[in-house]
Structure formats: structure tokens, C-alpha cells
């Protein structure tokens, strides 16, 4: 395919010229159906690069491990918001990253050795078809139709009674095994010491209890308020299938309504919690 060949050629050229130390992209997983991240440091490895509708991983996360190194990375439109987020928070340097952008046809649901025909929920309402930021766009622009993001599932939950919502989330959090995969995969979670690992004070206790899971999930999500870029990787990697997008998108919706802000669209815009307006009218306060 032309798109894949363009990615391979570009990656090979960058490595051969020594413009970057490595290329982060996708390769076919050993099941022959799905894909996995590939770190290519040798020009010959670029022949393994691929791109298709199974490449859901947000590779921008890996840039945090490669700080100070010049890296090239394959970036989908939604992942490009993560680039903007990390630029905004001064976690990566623009001139240290070469962005190989790809137009995105939408990602499908996958499991080991299997890919379905249906698009992931986040892709159905995604309005980005082209990365917001890139140095090289492989495969040109893509035309496709997308539904409007209506937050209908969120507004529906909002009409339920508080007790019903409590019951729902208790059941969800009861299943959490606190493997912290949601944190490890998140491009916005990069604190050197996470509050969940602090011992003094011990914010998240070590016992196996829904209370501790609830605290963890509440604060994890709240730390991403106005920062979550909606790649939905947390939900994808959750081994017990907690619908984390219901939490992240609730905050995304409220931040949009209260502060008219969406994360990752502009690397120079002030995030909502870094600023304020004296005259703004919120729910309380005169």
C-alpha cells in the first residue's frame, strides 16, 4: 500500500541520514492480525512498519521515555492532540520530535487474533481526519463521515438519580484490580511519583476494597480534567473493562461547558486550571 510505503521510506531516510535516533511506529503483532508498537533504530527495521485500522496505540506516550533524544513518531489525528498537550506542558521539545502524520480511517475493535468490522466508539464521533501537527503527512488527506459528539450516554446518566449512579459506579469500581494500566498508557500521566504510590500520607490504601479503587479512579480522572485528549487508551487497556470514557468524557463535557476549553487543540492556549476569570460566574460565589 502506498501509505505504508511512504511511512517506511520516510523512516528509512530519517534513520539513514541520522536525522533521528529512532522511529516509533507500528508493526504486525505475532497473531498476524493486530498490531503492536515498533521501535526502529536500524534502517532495515523500517521494513516492518505498517499502518492499518488496528493501530490504536497512542505512541506519543513513548516520547516521555525518550526525552532529550531525537525521535520520529507515527501519529494519528487523535494522538496529535497528545503532542499538543505535551508541548503545552513543556514535556517534549518540538525540534526533538519528527512527526510522521497519518490520516485516520478510524480504528476498529480488536482482540488477540481477531479484528471486528465495527469502529471504536471514540472513532465514530471523531471529527479529526488529519493530524493537527506534523512534519510529514503520509498517504495524504482522508475524506470520511463522522457522527457528531453528543455526549448522549453522559446526559442520560445525568438524568438518573444519585443513588442509581452510586450503585453503578460501585459495581464498576468493585471490579478494578488497580493494575494502573490506565495510568501507564496515558500520555497525560507522567508524574515522577504518582499520588497513588505515596506512602506518607498514604492516599490510596493497599487493601483490596472498592473505596480505595474509587478514590484512585476519581482522582486519576480529575488530574486529567481539561487535559484528557480523548485517545481512550485507558479504556482500551483496562483488563476488567471499566467504562473509563464515561468518566473522562464527563469532565471533557463539563470543561467545555464551563470554561470553553478542549485539550490538545492549541499548544499555546492556557489550560483551564492554570488561569481564571475574575468576573466569571460559576455555581457558587458572588
Partner 1 sequence: MSVEYQPKVIGFLCNWCSYAGADMAGTSRMGYPQNIRIIRVPCSGRVDPLFVVKCFQRGADGVLVSGCHPGDCHYTEGNYHTRRRFALLREFLDYLGIAKERLRVEWISASEGQRFAELVSDFTAELARLGPRSKI
CB of 190 to partner 1, least distance (A): 18
Q: Does 156 bind partner 1 (CB under 8 A)?
A: no
Locate cell 480529575: which residue? 222
* Shortest Å, Cβ 264 to partner 1: 18
Cβ proximity of 233 and 120 under 8 Å: no
> Is 285 a residue that touches partner 1 (CB under 8 A)?
yes
Q: Which is nearer to partner 1, 45 or 225 (CB)?
A: 225
- CB closer to partner 1, 43 vs 271: 271
The answer to whether residue 219 forms part of the interface with partner 1 (CB under 8 A) is yes
- Give the span between the Cα atoms of 78 and 214, in whole angstroms: 28
Which helix H or strand E contains 111, and what residues bound it? strand 108-111
Rounded least distance, CB 147 to partner 1, Å:
23
Q: Which residues pair with 24 in a beta bridge?
A: 39, 73
CB of 89 to partner 1, least distance (A): 17
| Residue 219 Cβ vs partner 1, minimum distance, rounded to whole Å | 5
In the chain, which ranges are continuous DSSP H helix?
Answer: 2-17, 77-88, 121-124, 152-159, 162-175, 181-184, 210-223, 233-237, 245-259
Give the three-class secondary structure for 35. Answer: strand
Can you tell me which of 39, 129, 168, 180 binds partner 1, judged by CB under 8 A? 168
- Quote the cell numbers at residue 134: 506534523
Nearer to partner 1 by C-beta: 21 or 214? Answer: 214
Q: Say whether residue 42 binds partner 1 (CB under 8 A).
A: no
178 torsion bin: left (phi>0), alpha (psi -120 to 50), beta (else): left
Dihedral over Cα of 162, 236, 127, 106: its sign:
negative
163 counts as binding partner 1 under rule CB under 8 A: yes
Q: How far is the CB of 193 from partner 1 (least distance, A)?
A: 14
- Region of 15-23, 40-48, 125-133, 165-173 interacting with partner 1 (CB under 8 A): 165-173
Taking CB under 8 A as the criterion, which residues in 226-265 touch partner 1?
250-251, 254-255, 258-259
Picking from 271, 260, 236, the residue whose alpha carbon sits closest to that of residue 56 is: 236
Sign of CA dihedral 178, 113, 229, 79: positive
Is 282 in contact with 259 (CB distance < 8 Å)?
Answer: no
Kindly state whether residue 178 participates in binding partner 1, applying the rule CB under 8 A: no
How many residues touch partner 1 (CB under 8 A)?
Answer: 40
Rounded to a whole number of angstroms, the minimum distance from the CB of residue 244 to partner 1 is: 13
- Measuring CA to CA, which residue among 283, 274, 269 is closest to residue 84? 269
Under the rule (CB under 8 A), what is the footprint of partner 1? Answer: 157-158, 162-170, 195, 203, 210-212, 214-215, 218-219, 221-222, 225, 250-251, 254-255, 258-259, 272-273, 276-278, 280, 282-286
Amino acid at each position: 500500500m502506498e501509505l505504508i510505503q511512504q511511512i517506511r521510506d520516510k523512516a528509512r531516510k530519517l534513520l539513514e541520514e541520522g536525522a533521528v535516533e529512532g522511529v516509533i511506529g507500528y508493526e504486525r503483532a505475532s497473531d498476524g492480525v493486530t498490531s503492536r508498537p515498533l521501535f526502529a533504530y536500524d534502517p532495515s527495521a523500517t521494513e516492518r512498519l505498517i499502518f492499518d485500522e488496528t493501530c490504536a496505540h497512542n505512541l506519543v506516550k513513548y516520547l516521555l521515555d525518550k526525552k532529550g533524544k531525537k525521535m520520529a513518531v507515527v501519529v494519528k489525528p487523535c494522538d496529535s492532540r497528545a503532542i499538543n498537550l505535551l508541548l503545552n506542558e513543556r514535556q517534549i521539545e518540538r525540534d526533538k520530535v519528527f512527526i510522521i502524520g497519518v490520516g485516520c480511517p478510524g480504528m476498529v475493535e480488536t482482540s488477540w487474533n481477531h479484528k471486528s468490522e465495527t469502529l471504536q466508539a471514540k472513532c465514530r464521533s471523531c471529527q479529526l481526519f488529519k493530524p493537527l501537527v506534523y512534519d510529514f503527512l503520509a498517504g495524504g488527506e482522508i475524506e470520511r463521515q463522522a457522527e457528531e459528539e453528543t455526549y448522549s450516554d453522559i446526559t442520560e446518566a445525568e438524568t438518573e438519580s444519585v443513588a442509581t449512579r452510586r450503585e453503578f459506579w460501585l459495581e464498576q469500581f468493585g471490579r478494578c484490580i488497580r493494575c494502573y494500566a490506565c495510568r501507564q498508557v496515558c500520555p497525560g500521566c507522567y508524574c515522577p511519583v504518582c499520588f497513588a504510590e505515596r506512602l506518607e500520607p498514604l492516599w490510596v490504601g493497599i487493601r483490596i476494597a472498592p473505596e480505595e479503587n474509587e478514590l484512585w479512579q476519581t482522582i486519576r480522572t480529575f488530574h486529567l480534567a481539561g487535559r484528557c485528549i480523548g485517545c481512550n487508551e485507558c479504556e482500551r487497556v483496562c483488563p476488567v473493562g471499566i467504562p473509563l470514557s464515561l468518566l473522562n468524557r464527563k469532565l471533557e463535557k463539563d470543561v467545555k461547558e464551563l470554561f470553553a476549553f478542549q485539550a490538545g487543540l492549541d499548544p499555546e492556549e492556557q489550560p483551564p486550571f492554570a488561569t481564571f476569570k475574575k468576573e466569571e460566574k460559576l455555581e457558587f460565589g458572588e
